[in-house]
Amino acid sequence: MELNLSKLKSLGVKAAADKTKLYRGKVRDILDLGSALFIYTTDRISAFDRVLATIPSKGEILNQISLFWFKQTADIIDNHIIKEVTSRSVLVRKCAIVPIEVVIRGYLTGSAWREYQKGNSLSGITLPEGMRRNEKFPTPLITPSTKAEQGIHDEPISREEILKQGIIPEETWKKIEKTALALFNRGTEIVGKQGLILVDTKYEFGLADGKLYIADEIHTQDSSRFWYKDTYEELFSQDKDQRKLDKEFFRKWLIDRGYMGDGTPPDINDEVIEGITERYKKAFHIITGKEFVPSGLSEDEEMAKIAEAINAYDPAL
């Protein structure tokens, strides 16, 4: 499912009449309401910065996991949520998104491992020789990247380059670093109690009226990598792949078929889609402690609820 502009327009949503107010990202549809944004999390799944398939219920699960985490981290930093509208959509404060993706890594794996094998640094950070695949860093590393347009790969950027180019003022960047580490530590603590390891993740920050907010999503399968805690040491000592609870399963499936974002992707069969769906549901259960139950709303019912919430929105409240 995706945001149906025609239906919203027929229900009196003025912003839906202007197609320039809608941005369709890799996963989310965003409607600009002026002082606020309406965000609708679709079932699209991306890998290597490309949208490749749709996964049933994925949007609902992602949105609900993010809402769980926003509540769990509200004492660390305010988030952009104004109101939950449907199980997959929210009304949020409009922020000027910081043009840097804040990636935090607790372990040497994924793209970081691939770069390390080539002898490259990670966003300007030179790692010691002799590290092993999936090895834990003594302390989590912040490895920022530039935010690229859809279809273009994000590029690593060092802390020094961010400050030298004046992309973000030093005082703001220091606050972002401190906040990101606190969020990562909180996530590590919470999922650790559920038998998981938060391996790495990415955060998006925004500014509104001079205040820093956490935006977009947090600690979901789309933004994070999770491993099972009980088998980490054994698999690490044997240099075997870790048991995963994230969409790295999907990335590996693509890589095994020679696809890493360029050229034509392989056909994605029903078995793979069903496997991804089950992983999303399982992650929801493990992280939140609840079973995932789909809303069951039809498109007409959902768009009616969305239209009602948007039409009733008063920026003065």
Query: In terms of Cα–Cα distance, which of 113, 101, 127, 61 is closest to 284?
Result: 61
Tokens 């399982």, located at residue = 282
Higher pLDDT, 41 or 154: 41
* Residue 154 pLDDT class (50, 70, 90 cuts): confident
Q: How far apart are CA 317 and CA 313, in angstroms?
A: 8
Q: What is the pLDDT of residue 316?
A: 55
118 CB-contact burial (10 Å; exposed 0-12 / middle 13-18 / buried 19+): exposed
Q: Which domains does the chain have, with CATH numbers?
A: 5-95+289-312 (3.30.200.20), 97-256 (3.30.470.20)
Q: How far apart are CA 86 and CA 4, in angstroms?
A: 14
> For 296-310, what is each residue's pLDDT tens digit?
999 999 999 999 999
Kindly report the pTM of this predicted structure: 0.89
> For 112-137, what is each residue's pLDDT tens digit?
999 999 999 999 999 999 999 999 99
Radius of gyration from C-alpha coordinates of the chain:
20
Q: Report the percent of the chain where pLDDT is more than 90.
A: 84
